[in-house]
Structure 1
Amino acid sequence: MFSTTGTQVPSFEEYAAVSWSMLYRSAYLLAGNHADAEDLAQQTLIKAHGAWVKVSASDSMNAYVRRILTNTFLSSRRPSARRLELLTDEVPEWGGPSGAAGGTAGTPGTSEERRALWPHVKQLPRQQRAVIVLRYYEDLSEAEIAETLGCSRGTVKSTAHRALKSLKAALDEQDTPRPGGKED
């Protein structure tokens, strides 16, 4: 969206106004609910404002702010069990490159598939959820995720592997018929 290469650098206010929907969507995917997503997005913008000289001088302002967002989420001390409200389980709709959640191979393509997978993604540990969101919802490469999280590509790969294994196990368990012959 914003890159400082060869273009005039926007003011913080311009950047925040244009980037809010992208930032909020990413925050929602990480936080899992609207209230925490708004808090996370606002905290990210506060931090970006404080570091605006560095943000605006970076090669990719979006990558810089995404890293602030992800680090803010990962360093949050508020455990999910202590959240007092959950407003909705619906993933916000957005248009990506293919009109779906990023369009990456392996990403659930239909709204119904995303809804079925979403409760399981929300149950993943924070680091695993961050990797899944950045890879399959934000469509970032392993190298971009490693840069965002400040870790190696190998860590990204192993974290993604564990997360996908957990998701597969959760989906397999969900599809297993219950005793008595009835399925949900």
Structure 2
Amino acid sequence: MRDGYDRFVADRLDRLLRYATAITCDKHLAQDIVQDVLVRARSRWGRIGAMDAPYLYVRRMVTNDYLSWRRLRARRDVTSTHAALEVLSPAVPDHAERHAERDAMRARIAVLPRKQRAAIVLRYYEDATTAEIGQVLGCSEGTVRSHLSRALQTLRVNETSPSEVLR
């Protein structure tokens, strides 16, 4: 049992972190969510590991944890201004063009409602079908298509150049 879990984490940790980072638009929050999910999955690994696709189940756990994160953890968060955060840790410029493009897209995705964001990430980052997205989000395929359509419309309306987003 332990070997299967350890192998799963070794094989899938990077992919889970990329997925969580894409839907949260926050590397540190993504790490927290994946860590919490993997701790819970470890205690249930006998059941999860016996499934046909344990990765899909764990990915759904990550999605559910993200969707409920604000509600469950809002009381523990201490907000701070950007100026205060920059004093503590000044921003380091990213000179690579592909990083700027990725950051710009992440900023545009960040304005979407949580379910729309999850649907977009599942569709275009994870290459999931509408049926798979519906299973992960717990809704019908029609609702998934609606989330995707609305999200794409919002992204088109908010489309700006990378330099404008990164200011």
TM-score (norm 1): 0.69
Please give the alpha-carbon distance, in whole angstroms, between the structure 1 residues aligned to 2:79 and 2:49.
34
Equivalent residue number for residue 150 of structure 2: 162
Equivalent residue number for residue 134 of structure 2: 146
Alignment of 1:46 with 2:39, yes or no, is yes
CA contact (8 A) 1:89 1:119 kept: no
Percent identity of equivalent pairs:
37
Mark the CA change 1:89 to 1:12 in structure 2 (over 3 Å): closer, same or farther.
farther
CA shift digits 1:8-49 (9 cap, x unpaired): 995212211221101111111111112101101101101211
Letter of the aligned partner of 1:167 in structure 2? L
CA shift digits 1:51-77 (9 cap, x unpaired): 212211211111111111111111112
CA RMSD of aligned residues (A): 2.9
- Bigger relative contact order, structure 1 or 2, given CA contacts below 8 A and separation 6+? 2
Q: Which runs of 5+ in 1 are unaligned?
A: 1-7, 91-109, 176-183
Equivalent residue number for residue 61 of structure 2: 68
Please give the alpha-carbon distance, in whole angstroms, between the structure 1 residues aligned to 2:11 and 2:109.
28
What SS class does the counterpart of residue 158 from structure 2 fall into?
Answer: helix
Mark the CA change 1:118 to 1:146 in structure 2 (over 3 Å): closer, same or farther.
same
User: Matches of residues 104-123 of structure 1 in structure 2 within 5 Å?
Assistant: 113-123=101-111
Letter of the aligned partner of 1:119 in structure 2? A
Mark the CA change 1:54 to 1:48 in structure 2 (over 3 Å): closer, same or farther.
same
TM-score (norm 2): 0.76
User: Matches of residues 15-26 of structure 1 in structure 2 within 5 Å?
Assistant: 15-26=8-19
- Indicate the structure with greater helix content: 2
CA contact (8 A) 1:70 1:148 kept: yes
